[in-house]
Structure formats: C-alpha cells, structure tokens
Chain A
C-alpha cells in the first residue's frame, strides 16, 4: 500500500497547480466575465495532454488513472476553474471510451484530446432527481435515422459543445436506454441558457423529433455504462470539492490571522481556533475519501465501485457543507459579499452536493447494498452473542 504521490504524479500536480493558479477565478466575480470558458487555457490543457488524460495512447491519450484525474480536479476546485474538463473529457469522453464503439472512439476521442471538440452529456430529466434510470426521452428509428423527442436538464457547457450525447429510451418508455450523438445545430431543438449558482454555463434542452447522427454502441442497454460514468464523475468531483475546501480553509485561516478585533487577531480566540481545526479534520476526512473514490472506480465489480463512491460522496458532501458554511461564518460580514472570494468557494461546495447524487441518495444506495461490507470477516467472533439471542420473558 502506498498513499504517496509518485514522482510523475507530483510533477503533474505541480504543473497543473501552477497553470491554474495563474488563472485562478477566486477574485473574478461572474459579472466581470464575458465568457463561459477560456480558449487560451483550454489550449494549454490540450498541450499538456490533460484533455486526453484518461484515454488510451492510440487516441492521443495519456492513459492516466483516476488518481491523475483526482489531481487535476483538485486543482480545478482550488482555483475555481470553470472549463468543461469534467463534462467533455471525463463524462462524454468516458462514455465513448468505455463503450464498444470503435467508430466513434476513432472519430471523437482524438479530437477531444486535441482540444478541438467539446461534448456534453444530456441525461438528467425534469423528474429524475438523482435516479439514473429515469429516462423518458424517446428515440425512434425512422428512414432518416434515429429521431429524439424529450426534455433534458442541467446540461453543463451544453452551449459551448459542438456535439451532445443524449440518453433516450428505444422506441417507447419501456425500451432500453440508448445514447445518441446529436449535432446542436439540428432542427427541432430548443434550448434555455443559464448560469449555475457557482458560475458555470448550463442549458436545458427540448428535443422535438431531432435527427441523431449516430447511436453509441454499448452492446445493449446503456444504463450500466451511465452508472459507471456517474460514479467516475462523482469520484472526480470529490477531488474538486477537496481542492475548493482546502483553498477556502487556507483563506479563512489567513483571515483569522490578520483580522483584528478587541485589539488582537481574531485567530487568538479559542472558539474560532477550534472551528478552524474542525474544518481541517473535515477536509482530511474528505481528502481520504477522494482517494478512496478514485480507488473504487477502478474496481471491476460494479457493486464495489458503487459502494466505494457512495461512501466517499457521503463523507465529502458532509465535509463540503461544514467547511463551506463555516468559511462564511468565520469571515463574518465580509464573507457575505459578492466581491469577496470566499462566497464563490461556498457556492461551488454547495452545488457539489447536488451533482451526481446528494448524501441521502448515496447513503440510501450504500445502505440498500448492506454497507461497505468489508467487515464480517470473522463470524466466529460473535458466535457467543448469537448463541445468547434468546430474549427475556
């Protein structure tokens, strides 16, 4: 067992941290931005190989593991980056890379890796909440090819993407789920653009008999693939949240050292010191679980993968809420202002909880599965307990 970074991983982390800290958005409020992502930064991502990070070498990828993904995501969270690394590379790229579709892999993955193509996954529907199988959009086979009808919500960077992957049921609501490649310029599409609470570009989409370019070959129903990607996305987001939490904590601790009240730095007050320590503990627990999530998504057994990710998301969600709220609290009034950076971390951490499953969802899933269940390896240990099960009269 080794929980230290390798030399290559450290180099990757340092390089990404340096680049992203130069482009940190901590002090750039939304109203000062006229863009939803930065071309120049995206190009640098491509040059560094980050846009093909998880892909195989034959597609121009770096064959990085989820641990490398974790390092990049942590840096993005720390610097509040809004580029569509998650939606294009990890989610859409992941769907294609984990599918059986050689044609689309050859066609799309190299372009993503080169930074020439952005793809967004349109999956969530108005009434689905976190249920990945709640898909009511329909794909019908016609002479013109597959035609899609339905509504999709919360499509991150949908307005920036040149292609969408869209989930829909084949032929009718009982059909299996398929994933379709759609050109956003097709007719029959209506979109609503908006910005998320944490400054990211999002759209909702209405499809009305829209012609799809292709169906992604998943050898049958796409749900297992979507579940895998949801776990990978949740794992990656845990690292983003850890980055945002660490930055928020550093900023807060620094504030405690400089802000004077009653003639002294407020960091001399024990109540505030203890809160800062509690935040640190919450972050350390979250960091451990971001690592565990990155480990778990490499498990072949989907149940072990899901259990690990759910345990991680539950812990990181809890830490994110605690650290976010108290970053504001320890700042006092200044923490409430739009101009000051801490609120942007708070908002990112808050939205993190909703992305790919909140704590209730993940704890529900984990407890349905009976828990992490690595235990119970020595049933003999409690044999005496079991022998004594008789209850009093």
Chain B
C-alpha cells in the first residue's frame, strides 16, 4: 500500500501537465477557470489539439486511436485537465457513443464514425430522456416503425444537452411496443440531426442559459444501417453506456479547482475595515471540511482504480461508480455553494451574457465584479448534477440492489 505516485506515474503526470500548460489556448482556459459557459468551438478546438497529440480518446482501443493507458494514467490525465481548467472531453462522443460502437457496431459503422467522433467532426448528443421517461428511462415512447431499409420515427426527446450543437444523436426508440418487458422493445439508432422532420427547441434553465433542448421527430427516416446491434436489443447497449457515463463523475479535480478559487478570492473579499472573509474561522472550517471530504473521495476513486487494475476489468462498470457519482456530484454542488458564499451579495446581479461567455462585464459600471458574476448562476445550474446521468436517488436504488442485495 503506497499513496505516493510511482516515478513512472509522476513522469506521466508531469508530461500531461506540461502539455496542457503549453497547448491549452488561453481564452479557453480563462473561460473554464472563471466558470463561464463554453461553446462548441471551444470544445472542438481543444479536442482537435488532443487528437493531433494522440490523446483524444485515451479509453478506446489503440486500433481506434486509444492510448493503451492504465486506469491510473487515465485518471491522472482527467485529473490534470480538471485542475488546469481544460474543457472536459465531450463525454457523449468519447465515453458513450464511441465505446458502444466499438463494442457493438459493424465494421462499416466503426470505419465511418469512430475517427469523426474522436476528432469531433461529428458532435453527438444523447436522445434518451422523454417527457414520460426520465429516471424511468425504459418507459420511453418514441416510436420507430420499420419500412424497408428505413425506420420511420415519431416522438419527442427532452433534456437533450447541447442538441443545438449536435450533428448526430444516439437515440433509443421503441420498435416493439408489445414486448413483455418494456426494456425488450427498444432499439439503439444513430440519427443524423440534419434529417428532415427533426425540430430542436431550446429549454432555458434557471441560470438563464441554453444547455438543454427538446427534440421532436416527425416522420424522420433513418437508414437501418444506422442501427447499432440488433433490433429490440438497444437496452443492453444503453446499459453498457450508462456505466461509462457514471464512472468518471467524481470529478475531484474540478471541485478542487473551484475550492482553490474560493480560497483565493476569500483572502481578498473584504468583510469590514482591514478584514477579509479568510479571517473568519467559521468560513475556514467549512472549507477545511470540504477539502477533507474531497480528499476522501479522491482516495475512494483511487481505490476503485487500483481494484480495476488488479482484477483486470477496465471497462466493466463497478457498482462503486454509483457511489462516486453520488458523492462526487454532492461535493461539486458543495463547492459551487462555497464559491457562491464567497461572492455573497456581489453575486446578486443577473448577468447572463457573462455566464454565456459572450461579454466581459464592464468594470466602469456598477455591476460585477466579473469574478463574482457567474457564482449564483452556476450554483443554480449545478443542481443539475444530482439529477442528470441517473439521479442520486436512482444511484441509491442501484447500490441498494447490486451492492447491498436489498429489496428482493
């Protein structure tokens, strides 16, 4: 048992750190560090830089551009990116649809899609949730009827993140409404978002931003060759993918970075003549407890990674990933709460343009300051973390059933 990085691991960490320092465009770094919203071009630019370096899709097989890294290397890579305010990889592409195509796609699908997914020539969005199928995903109703070499699709998806940027959607549709189990009549399709009959409508969230969309399908025709695997087997592929979604969601590095920022700014926020927030021991104790809990989560994640290494299961979702998702999302919310508290009344102004990364707050006017501008909006939006990707309550159901063997 050793908590120090080995020399090899440390050298790798330094290599990643140095690469990010020299290659991450300053304007993107600034946006992420100040927690403004990134746009498609930010993510695309960074992904193409990573692609050129050969680090675009580390978790994929080498044959398709992967890095053959150990789970520890993958962890260090993600952690360094989080700490250095690099954008996260587009999870839909890299962690979700890519691995599903690799596992279940045809050779033709792999050849066409994988390089474009890796280089972000295709931006994928996820068509899972529907108005009547949220946490109860298998209840989805979007209907696909086979007509010759095509499926004809009618229905609606909702909460589709970044669908307004997307070129493609990986989508779950109902092909057999009469299946005995509702999980059994579902098919997994790749849908070109330019296909006639698709309408996207923005959903503006409580932070005043456009993250989510509704997507409507009106007689949308999708070639059968865009189906992944077999008809009516889509649930199996989706489950494989949901495990991938949860795995990386501890996001300790992001929480640490946000806490760093909160601590730094607290040393400068006045709380009266000659005093700053940092002088307040109550504030510092809250920060200290959060740091301690983050350290615990970091080690919990590293224990899962070490276990993966010794048991050789790199890609199989560990039920512990649900625990990491629950605690990780809670701590991300807690750090957004601390940052909001640091800003306090300075966060009162609603400045949607700042949050959207569009405009810099005018320092000559009495709104701002800029470092506080997004604090409250971000706090609002990060409530999403315990809802999306399998809500905290769903995760607890999973752990109760799969780890504690309860409820049978």
B-contact bits for A295-324, CB 8 A (1 contact / 0 none): 100000000000000111011000000000
Tell me the minimal C-beta distance from B265 to chain A in angstroms: 6
Q: CB-CB < 8 A to A386: which residues of B?
A: 264, 268
Chain A minimum-CB-distance residue to B292? A311
Interface residues of A in 358-393 (CB under 8 A from B): 363-364, 366-368, 370-372, 375-379, 381-382, 384-386, 388-393
Q: Say yes or no: is B203 at the interface (Cβ < 8 Å to chain A).
A: no
Contact B33 A382 (CB under 8 A): yes
Q: A4-B307, A288-B299, A388-B370 are in contact. Are A375 and B259 (CB under 8 A)?
A: yes
Among the stretches B108-116, B231-239, B380-388, B392-400, the one at the interface with A is B392-400
Q: CB-CB < 8 A to B371: which residues of A?
A: 384-385, 388-389
Q: A273-B404, A277-B404, A388-B371 are in contact. Are A292 and B289 (CB under 8 A)?
A: no
How many chain A residues have a CB neighbour from B under 8 Å? 59
Q: A367-B287, A371-B263 are in contact. Are A5 and B1 (CB under 8 A)?
A: yes
Interface residues of A in 257-288 (CB under 8 A from B): 257, 267-268, 270, 273-274, 276-278, 280-281, 284-288
Once bound together, how far apart are the Cα atoms of A265 and B260, in whole Å? Answer: 47
Chain A minimum-CB-distance residue to B399? A277
Candidates B29, B83, B299, B326; contact of A3 at CB < 8 Å:
B299
Contact A273 B260 (CB under 8 A): no
Q: Say yes or no: is A34 at the interface (Cβ < 8 Å to chain B).
A: no
Q: Say yes or no: is B210 at the interface (Cβ < 8 Å to chain A).
A: no
Q: CB-CB < 8 A to A368: which residues of B?
A: 284
Interface residues of A in 67-102 (CB under 8 A from B): 67
Q: A1-B3, A295-B3 are in contact. Are A366 and B292 (CB under 8 A)?
A: yes
Contact B291 A372 (CB under 8 A): yes
Candidates B9, B30, B288, B405; contact of A314 at CB < 8 Å:
B288
Once bound together, how far apart are the Cα atoms of A6 and B320, in whole Å? Answer: 22
Q: CB-CB < 8 A to A377: which residues of B?
A: 83
Contact A363 B289 (CB under 8 A): yes
Contact B368 A392 (CB under 8 A): yes
Q: CB-CB < 8 A to B370: which residues of A?
A: 384-385, 388
Chain B minimum-CB-distance residue to A391? B369
Q: A285-B296, A367-B281 are in contact. Are A273 and B397 (CB under 8 A)?
A: yes
Once bound together, how far apart are the Cα atoms of A367 and B277, in whole Å? Answer: 13
Q: CB-CB < 8 A to A390: which residues of B?
A: 363, 369
Q: Say yes or no: is B406 at the interface (Cβ < 8 Å to chain A).
A: yes
Once bound together, how far apart are the Cα atoms of A21 and B243, in whole Å? Answer: 36
Once bound together, how far apart are the Cα atoms of A276 and B405, in whole Å? Answer: 11
Contact B260 A311 (CB under 8 A): no
A-contact bits for B328-372, CB 8 A (1 contact / 0 none): 000000000000000000100000000000000001001111110
Q: A3-B306, A393-B366 are in contact. Are A378 and B83 (CB under 8 A)?
A: yes
Tell me the minimal C-beta distance from A278 to chain B in angstroms: 7
Q: CB-CB < 8 A to A5: which residues of B?
A: 1
Q: Say yes or no: is B146 at the interface (Cβ < 8 Å to chain A).
A: no
Q: CB-CB < 8 A to A278: which residues of B?
A: 396
Chain A minimum-CB-distance residue to B301? A288
Q: Say yes or no: is B403 at the interface (Cβ < 8 Å to chain A).
A: yes
Tell me the minimal C-beta distance from B269 to chain A in angstroms: 9
Contact B296 A376 (CB under 8 A): no
Q: CB-CB < 8 A to A289: which residues of B?
A: 292, 295-296, 299
Chain A minimum-CB-distance residue to B85? A381
Q: CB-CB < 8 A to A311: which residues of B?
A: 288, 291-292, 295
Q: Say yes or no: is B40 at the interface (Cβ < 8 Å to chain A).
A: no
Contact A274 B306 (CB under 8 A): no
Q: Say yes or no: is A253 at the interface (Cβ < 8 Å to chain B).
A: yes
Q: CB-CB < 8 A to B284: which residues of A?
A: 367-368, 370-371
Contact B263 A376 (CB under 8 A): yes
Once bound together, how far apart are the Cα atoms of A235 and B176, in whole Å? Answer: 58
Q: Say yes or no: is A143 at the interface (Cβ < 8 Å to chain B).
A: no
Once bound together, how far apart are the Cα atoms of A393 and B363, in whole Å? Answer: 10
Candidates A367, A385, A391; contact of B288 at CB < 8 Å:
A367
Q: Say yes or no: is A342 at the interface (Cβ < 8 Å to chain B).
A: no
Q: Say yes or no: is A22 at the interface (Cβ < 8 Å to chain B).
A: no
Candidates B84, B296, B307, B393; contact of A381 at CB < 8 Å:
B84
Candidates B4, B265, B310, B327; contact of A285 at CB < 8 Å:
B327
Once bound together, how far apart are the Cα atoms of A319 and B83, in whole Å? Answer: 28
Contact A363 B399 (CB under 8 A): no
Q: CB-CB < 8 A to A378: which residues of B?
A: 83-84
Candidates A1, A9, A285, A364; contact of B281 at CB < 8 Å:
A364
Contact A364 B285 (CB under 8 A): yes
Contact A381 B295 (CB under 8 A): no
Contact A372 B306 (CB under 8 A): no
Q: A314-B289, A315-B293, A392-B366 are in contact. Are A375 and B260 (CB under 8 A)?
A: yes
Q: Say yes or no: is A142 at the interface (Cβ < 8 Å to chain B).
A: no
Tell me the minimal C-beta distance from A388 to chain B in angstroms: 5
Tell me the minimal C-beta distance from B408 to chain A in angstroms: 8
Q: Say yes or no: is A174 at the interface (Cβ < 8 Å to chain B).
A: no
Contact A1 B4 (CB under 8 A): yes
Q: Say yes or no: is B303 at the interface (Cβ < 8 Å to chain A).
A: yes
Q: CB-CB < 8 A to A364: which residues of B?
A: 281, 285
Once bound together, how far apart are the Cα atoms of A345 and B136, in whole Å? Answer: 38
Query: Beyond A273-B404, A367-B288, A388-B371: 5 further Cβ-contacts under 8 Å?
Result: A1-B302, A253-B404, A287-B300, A289-B295, A315-B295
12 A–B contacts from the bound complex (CB under 8 Å): A276-B400, A281-B323, A363-B288, A363-B292, A364-B281, A372-B288, A377-B83, A381-B33, A385-B33, A385-B371, A388-B371, A391-B369
